[in-house]
Amino acid sequence: MSEVPQIQAQTIIIIHPGSLNLRIGRATDLNPHTILHVNDMILQEMEECRLQVSHTLQSCLQSDGHRRYATPPQQIAAFNRRAHPVKLSDSGGEWIKPEENIVVGDEVLTINPNLDYNIHFPFKRGDLNIHDGPGGSLTAVLANLETIWTRVIHYQLGIPPWDLKHYRAVLVIPDIYNRQYLKELTTLLLCKIGFGGCFLLQDHVAATFGAGLGYACVIDVGDQKTSVSCVEDGISHRNTRVRMEYGGGDITQAFHWLLQKCAFPYKSCSPDNKLDAMLLRKLKENFCHVNLNICGSQEKSFIVGDECIVAPLSLFQPELLGLSGPKVLQVQKLSTGDPEDPHDDSYLRETSVSNLTII
């Protein structure tokens, strides 16, 4: 028998696509490269939900047993109305004119928005971003993925496309998946990009492997989705998989809405502007928390109160996330069958032991 050639870890590339960021790197890398994964509700209900969360926080206790206190929003707003934003000079940076017709990753943020570029995010809410607009077909999304992944591998990892036949790929997929999409992604890796081999690994299973756990209840909060499943011995149990279509990006929008209610000094801030969106995300990461010991007003360059804790608690009150549209709860659906897939769900059901008839 011929010996199976040993595969070196440095020839394995792990690809973890997300709705906002792409994480990619060799299996031997301590940390992956993280880049933007992009190729160039009713307000009354939200207000009622905000008041409900605020009243709940007022009844909570700190770790020392004292009752939490909150600065009245009117007092915070009165201070912030006296604060004025400082406009910096334009010498801090200039828009970069790209030398090529295609721009991927973080470079998209440096392009003048007035230039004639179409920006495409291949993933949305944890799944392929298929829609009716330009670039929304399955073929177009797969072409965008090919462009992004090959360029990142070439320029970030230093591996030219013609050498990829010597490498293997591990594609990290969502816990709830569309089997047809997985077939297309596998074809993309093997036939289009040209890897020498690949296999697919669910993200929740990968998390337990990375943490060294045999079983766990995994909760993954991404930018546009939150998923939960129970993993045991490397298997994500189908009946426990749940995906909610909200995540960190929705918390950012809820935080901005709360800041506006307390007279946020930067009144022209708009989440639709990519630089303002980066600012809001940075404010959320620096200020938001779920620590009951932090209460009262906090003075930064402006004053904030319980807005910093109400925004992240919106994960448990999805009505607060209505600014970004209705949220859908998804579970793993049965496959409709694929004649090109010899081991689809239909085949497995028909050939299972319980369905075999002894003649």
At residue 205 the predicted structure's pLDDT band, cuts being 50, 70 and 90, is: very high
pLDDT in tens, 79-121: 777 777 766 665 456 777 777 778 888 888 888 777 777 788 8
Per-residue model confidence (pLDDT) at position 3: 57
Per-residue model confidence (pLDDT) at position 102: 81
Answer yes or no: is pLDDT of 265 > 50: yes
Is the separation of the CB atoms in 164 and 194 below 8 Å? Answer: yes
Per-residue model confidence (pLDDT) at position 278: 87
Per-residue model confidence (pLDDT) at position 42: 46
pLDDT in tens, 213-225: 999 999 999 999 9
295 vs 218 pLDDT, higher one = 218
- Mean pLDDT for the stretch of residues 32-57: 75
Answer yes or no: is pLDDT of 242 > 60: yes
Is the separation of the CB atoms in 204 and 232 below 8 Å? Answer: no
Per-residue model confidence (pLDDT) at position 61: 75
Answer yes or no: is pLDDT of 41 > 50: no
Per-residue model confidence (pLDDT) at position 100: 76
At residue 328 the predicted structure's pLDDT band, cuts being 50, 70 and 90, is: low
CA-CA distance, 255 to 320, in Å (whole number)? 10
| Torsion sign, CA atoms 57, 60, 66, 67 | positive
159 vs 350 pLDDT, higher one = 159
- Mean pLDDT for the stretch of residues 138-146: 93
Structure tokens belonging to residue 68: 């939490």
Phi first, then psi, for residue 344 (nearest 5°) are -75, 175
CATH entry, 126-244, from 3.30.470.10, 3.30.420.40, 2.30.40.10, 3.40.50.150:
3.30.420.40
Answer yes or no: is pLDDT of 141 > 50: yes
Q: Looking at this protein, which amino acid is placed at residue 250?
A: D
- Mean pLDDT for the stretch of residues 177-190: 92
What is the number of helices (H) and of strands (E) in the chain?
Answer: 9, 14
Q: What is the CATH number of domain 40-86+248-324?
A: 3.90.640.10
4 vs 24 pLDDT, higher one = 24
Q: Looking at this protein, which amino acid is placed at residue 106?
A: D
Looking at the chain, the whole-number percentage of residues with pLDDT higher than 90 is 36
Answer yes or no: is pLDDT of 323 > 80: no
* 340 SS3 class: coil
| DSSP-assigned letter for residue 126 | T
What is this structure's pTM?
A: 0.77
At residue 2 the predicted structure's pLDDT band, cuts being 50, 70 and 90, is: low
79 vs 6 pLDDT, higher one = 79
- Among candidates 210, 205, 200, 199, which has minimal Cα distance to 237? 205
- Mean pLDDT for the stretch of residues 197-209: 94
- Residue 272's CB is within 10 A of a number of other CB atoms, namely 6
Beta-bridged to residue 278, according to DSSP, are none
Query: Alpha helices, DSSP H only, in the chain?
Result: 43-58, 73-81, 138-155, 179-187, 203-211, 248-261, 274-287, 307-310, 345-350
DSSP code per residue over 134-190 = TT-SHHHHHHHHHHHHHHHHHHTS---GGGGGG-EEEEEE-SS--HHHHHHHHHIII
- Mean pLDDT for the stretch of residues 124-137: 87
Answer yes or no: is pLDDT of 173 > 70: yes
- Mean pLDDT for the stretch of residues 3-31: 85
86 burial type by CB count under 10 A (0-12 exposed, 13-18 middle, 19+ buried): exposed
Beta-bridged to residue 61, according to DSSP, are 67
In the chain, what are the domain boundaries? Answer: 1-36, 40-86+248-324, 126-244
For residue 200, the surrounding DSSP H or E stretch is strand 197-202
At residue 291 the predicted structure's pLDDT band, cuts being 50, 70 and 90, is: confident
Start-to-end C-alpha separation, the chain: 39
- Among candidates 326, 317, 310, 292, which has minimal Cα distance to 255? 310
Per-residue model confidence (pLDDT) at position 53: 80
* 285 SS3 class: helix
Per-residue model confidence (pLDDT) at position 151: 92
CA-CA distance, 288 to 133, in Å (whole number)? 35
- Residue 164's CB is within 10 A of a number of other CB atoms, namely 20
Mean pLDDT of the chain: 83
Q: How far is CA 288 from the centre of its chain?
A: 18
Same fold, 40-86+248-324 and 126-244: no
Per-residue model confidence (pLDDT) at position 241: 94
Per-residue model confidence (pLDDT) at position 359: 44
| Torsion sign, CA atoms 146, 149, 152, 158 | negative
